[in-house]
Chain A
């Protein structure tokens, strides 16, 4: 029994679609503009003649950045911080979550409670800084990797996932002569691949994008990750290598944004599925 669409309903559809188109434009326009500005002539950008499409296309800003060794150093830093943290984080989190998923573990409740408590209360910026300093981690990769190594949310998500795995599988493997370690590595982890991929991706994007820990813990220029370099160029407005040359000053900023963002934009379409999936798992638990 299909009732004829009322006028109000059809009007709403039209308005809704119009609104969605506006939304898409609002979401995409800044990125398009950044791209256009990054490959346009500096004077065109400064005077506001670049609105949507690039004018007087030139790669000068990129050439400028590519020729700057600081960029490559910071790029490499970001890559290695991200890779090391993602790997270690998955290893440590899963190794902690697995025993916590076993009901017979003594003290299980206490450990979970203590972990959950850190979600609501913590020492804060300064005491954590002092710990990192005391451990002698300042100006090393470990100051970036270690303080945010385990996320309590991800720990809980993994634990829930491990708990849901059928115990018979593990029992069968044990009977076939697998030790606990082998069960974990050969049975549990492969079965948990979707969760591991989701959490790994979140950790990686987070680390790739983070700047504050680096601002706190790193003073040595050669340790700076990409985001700090980006911040220094755009927000603190420092010229690359302090040259007085202002020929590229604006386009350079846009080019730098592109360089820092493109890797994420490139992988985004392929991994979006995992992200959405991950957000849901997190949500159900949360």
Chain B
């Protein structure tokens, strides 16, 4: 048990203590105890003196909105359709195939995107030019970034995401379907009023969990896909923290931005859980 606790202290709670440097002018040589306190200076620096601050926040929020609007419902719809497939073998086959992308690494997915979307050599642009369209520099245009990000995200997660919903569907009491049929519900009404309703608890839990990742939205993939040309829509808080903190070694400032991000994330989950608890029986805790 001891190594486990040691792990939590060392890699979870010591970094929380390290958040102090957000209020300091931290330098590695002087350490946390020796560094000078500067109060909220780094926070004002970020909100007032960083012209990009609002852009970063806007991008973080917008990517989440896209994510919730398109990526979140996708597995719900797919699970409904899976459930309606009559042939068991076909169903199993389609399911297995749809799980596959989940096991590809972020780098491979990003690599596929980069090569497929390449302006001169990518297959997507070859198809476009055959069809008589202009070639598009997909990854160099800010207006394409969100679509590309969410699209690749759907491709990778939609199949795997159905597992929990299908489990929920399997748990629906079969007599409900019988009752619905006797009441004269047709197939679509059954889908809507029985199957879909059966998935609601899972939806709620996954929704709260998704909000839990609100602030760090897919930034590992963003780091691979973005470039200075698309910062306008692609640069989010976490990528900014990475550039300032790790690449420019501006530790205190980056930690301050990180702390802002963590606090918002924390508040979001707690609030979402509260709301959910109030209106239904399902909640995370």
Are A and B co-members of a single complex? yes
> A-side interface residues toward B, CB under 8 Å?
6, 8-9, 12-13, 16-17, 19-20, 23-24, 26-28, 30-31, 33-34, 37, 45-48, 50-51, 92-93, 95-96, 98-100, 111, 114-116, 118-131, 133, 135, 146-147, 149-150, 155, 205, 208-212, 215-216, 227, 230-231, 234-235, 250, 253-254, 256-257, 260-261, 264-265, 268-269, 272, 275-276, 279-280, 283, 286
16 contacts between A and B (CB under 8 A): A9-B186, A37-B115, A96-B4, A118-B12, A120-B265, A121-B265, A123-B19, A126-B241, A130-B18, A131-B14, A211-B105, A235-B107, A235-B114, A264-B103, A276-B163, A286-B209
Task: Please report whether the interface of chain A is mostly helix, strand, loop or mixed according to DSSP.
Answer: helix
B45 to chain A, nearest CB (A): 15
B284 to chain A: closest residue by CB:
A286
**Which of B4, B101, B116, B265 has a CB less than 8 Å from the CB of A92?**
B4
Check A17–B187 contact: CB distance below 8 A. Answer: no
A27 to chain B, nearest CB (A): 5
Q: Check if B61 is an interface residue, CB within 8 A of chain A.
A: no
Check B15–A124 contact: CB distance below 8 A. Answer: yes
Q: How many A-B contacts are there with CB distance less than 8 Å?
A: 239
**Residues of chain A with a CB closer than 8 A to B179's CB:** none
**Residues of chain A with a CB closer than 8 A to B11's CB:** 128, 131, 146-147, 149
Q: Given A125-B241, A283-B163, are A120 and B251 neighbors across the interface (CB < 8 Å)? A: no
Task: Please report whether the interface of chain B is mostly helix, strand, loop or mixed according to DSSP.
Answer: helix
B120 to chain A, nearest CB (A): 8
Report the separation of the CA atoms of residues A6 and B188 in the bound assembly, to the nearest whole angstrom. 11
**Which of B94, B224, B269 has a CB less than 8 Å from the CB of A231?**
B224
Check A283–B106 contact: CB distance below 8 A. Answer: no
List 7 extra interface pairs beyond A13-B84, A23-B97, A95-B4, CB under 8 A. Answer: A17-B90, A30-B112, A92-B7, A127-B17, A216-B246, A235-B224, A257-B111
A237 to chain B: closest residue by CB:
B114
Check B251–A205 contact: CB distance below 8 A. Answer: no
Report the separation of the CA atoms of residues A275 and B78 in the bound assembly, to the nearest whole angstrom. 19
Q: Most chain-A Cβ atoms within 10 A of its Cβ — which of B100, B116, B205?
A: B100
B202 to chain A, nearest CB (A): 7
A211 to chain B, nearest CB (A): 5
Report the separation of the CA atoms of residues A118 and B205 in the bound assembly, to the nearest whole angstrom. 18
A94 to chain B, nearest CB (A): 9
A89 to chain B: closest residue by CB:
B7
